[in-house]
Amino acid sequence: MQLLRKLLFPFSLVYALVVYLRNFLYDIGLFSSQKFDVPIVCIGNLSVGGTGKTPMTEFLLELLKPHYKIAVLSRGYKRKSKGFLIADANVTVENLGDEPYQIHQKFADVTVAVDANRREGIRLLTNSVKPELIVLDDAFQHRKVTPHVSVLLTSYGDLYVDDWYLPTGNLRDSKNAAQRANFIIVTKCPPNLNEEEQNHIAQKLKHGIDQKVLFSCLAYDGILYGLSNQIKMDALKDKKFTLVTGIANPAPLILHLKSQGFTFEHLAFKDHHFFTQKEIGFLSKKELIVTTEKDYMRLKGHLSNLSYLRVSHRFIGDGKKIIFDALSQFMTARS
């Protein structure tokens, strides 16, 4: 696969040129980017998947929903519906998409909507729900909307400055686009990342004077959810289970489980994979399946041996306070 990606290098040059021209046309105003009165916070990345956008969206919701009426707008990638849709009690994961459905299931007091047309989605949310704040999930590269605050994620082990454009690399947007971010958050860091390495990475990212570079690590829960009775992960230390993943980058989860001494087989599927009846029949024969929360949303109701492990972002140092204070000041200034 790596050899094939290298052979496709000429196509990545074409892709890079197209990305550059697109951003240039937005920068000079030939392509229009619309501003809205409602405060908008955008979360995204420059690469294809794997930086932890959904956990970061959930982190911001936990942080801000006690103070503001929030709506989340997502594209709803690979959903089986079209146009604008607001989640309600009858919505399905197929119609909403796995990531927004996960958010909808966890945050009953937050409006979750999907629309590939972000402008239209914002307009409809503003007219119908009148939120005080809209969070745009996975929208950094969607320049038809100008957000008030942009949060850019990049993985510790795969910084955008070290990457290259599709299909040779994983970049879907220009490295220079990072200049539009208010916050650059380096995710999936080692929990013990010291200040010296943090400074080294911040310098490597060549961030602007007004940009804040923060660092976070993944925090895995010690409880398995989804079964009739919640059980502690430690109860599986002497048992073999099946890990099922349909996410962009399962490597951190695999590393975490192995570091804890678990024994398991790993069945990997493509990101956002909707499982067939044949696959579900195969999985039903396994004694116990451990999966991610996003995969659980697509599998629940089909398997009785299914459990999932929650993951969240934990900021290193004062990152949580920094981002909360900055967003609070922004919202106060808007009121």
Q: Contacts for 229-233 with beta carbons within 8 Å, 24 or more apart? A: 231/307, 233/260, 233/262, 233/309
Fold agreement (2-217+315-334, 219-314): yes
- Taking residues 201-225, report their average pLDDT: 94
CATH of 2-217+315-334, one of 3.40.50.10260, 3.40.50.300, 1.20.140.150, 1.20.200.10: 3.40.50.300
Element counts in the chain: helices (H) and strands (E) = 11, 13
- Bigger pLDDT: 50 vs 331: 331
- Distance CA(253)–CA(3), nearest Å, equals 26
pLDDT mean over 299-318: 94
Q: Is the pLDDT reported for residue 208 higher than 90?
A: no
Classified as helix, coil or strand, 31 is coil
Q: Which residues, other chains included, contact 7 with Cβ-Cβ below 8 Å and sequence gap of 6+?
A: none
136 burial (CB, 10 Å; 0-12 / 13-18 / 19+) is buried
In the DSSP assignment, the letter for residue 163 is: -
Instruction: Give the model's pLDDT for residue 89.
Output: 94
Beta-sheet pairing, 212-225 with 306-315: antiparallel
Q: Using one digit for the tens of pLDDT, what is the confidence trace for 101-153?
A: 999 999 999 999 999 999 999 999 999 999 999 999 999 999 999 999 999 99
44-100 tens-digit pLDDT: 999 987 899 999 999 999 999 999 999 999 999 989 999 999 999 999 999 999 999
52 is in an annotated binding site: yes
User: In this predicted structure, what is the pLDDT of residue 4?
Assistant: 81
Residue 218's beta-bridge partner residues?
A: 313
CB-based contacts of 48, cutoff 8 Å, min separation 6: 166, 170, 172, 248
Give the whole-angstrom CA distance, residue 7 versus residue 179. 30
Give the number of residues written for the chain: 335
Q: Is 50 annotated as a binding residue?
A: yes
| DSSP bridge partners of 244 | 267, 291
Rounded Cα gap, residues 144 and 162, in angstroms: 27
Q: What does the mean pLDDT of the chain come to?
A: 94
Q: What class has domain 219-314? A: alpha beta
Q: What is the pLDDT of residues 309-326, one digit of tens each?
A: 999 999 999 999 999 999
246 is in an annotated binding site: no
Instruction: Look up the pTM and report it.
Output: 0.94
Looking at residue 230, what is its pLDDT? 85
- Each domain of the chain, given as residue ranges in start order, spans 2-217+315-334, 219-314
- Mean per-residue pLDDT, 176-180: 95
Which whole number is the average pLDDT over 278-282?
Answer: 97
275-293: string of b/e by CB count within 10 Å (b at 16+)? beeebeeebeebebbbbbb
Token pair 């409006």 is at which residue? 111
Q: Is 47 annotated as a binding residue?
A: yes
